[in-house]
Structure 1
Amino acid sequence: MNEQWLRKLIRNVLHQYGYHPETWNLDEDEWHRLCAYVTAEKEKNRSADIYELVHDAVYEFITNM
């Protein structure tokens, strides 16, 4: 899965949760972990909606900060 595209989806979801670029403070490792999580979940369940997976990953990330 294209990581650049996933990052764009993640950015959009972060924005929906009220996060803005200056407040994200995501380092490269965190970006990679979020993308890897979404990719792994999609591989486990090919019929899963990618947008739901991204929302789940971001929600999990921000609630465990």
Structure 2
Amino acid sequence: MEQQMMKRMIQKCFLQYEHSVESVPLNDRDYEKLYSEIMERYQRNESAEIYELVEDVVYEFLVG
């Protein structure tokens, strides 16, 4: 999946967790780390829905 599209999905997920566009606490390295984690999980389970993987990874980032 294209990395820019994934970045927008990650941003939207942060908005669901009550962050504003300005308060999304990520730099480029964080986005790369989240993207890598999402893609790794997808490769292990290609039947998974990408949006569910994004939500899981973002949630873990926020609570971890």
Matched position secondary structure for 1:24: coil
Q: Which residue of 2 aligns with 1:48?
A: 48
Is residue 15 from structure 1 mapped to residue 15 from structure 2 by the alignment? yes
Misfit runs of 4+, over 4 Å: none
Which structure 2 residue ranges, 5 or more long, are not aligned?
Answer: none
Cα shift at 1:25: 2.8
Superposed, which structure 2 residues align to 1:18-37 within 5 Å? 18-37=18-37
Cα deviation for residue 20 of structure 1 reads 1.2
SS in 2 for 1:26: coil
Q: Give the AA of the match of 1:54.
A: V
Q: CA-atom RMSD, angstroms?
A: 0.8
Q: Distance in 2 between matches of 1:52 and 1:5?
A: 15
Q: Structure 2 CA distance, aligned partners of 1:45 and 1:51?
A: 13
- Relative to the length of structure 2, the TM-score reads 0.93
> Highest relative contact order (Cα 8 Å, sep 6+), 1 or 2?
1
* Unmatched runs of 5 consecutive residues or more in structure 1: none
- Normalized against structure 1, the TM-score is what? 0.92
Mapped to 2, the partners of 1:13 and 1:61 lie a distance apart of: 11
Corresponding residue pairs, total: 64
The alpha-carbon deviation at position 21 of structure 1 amounts to 2.0
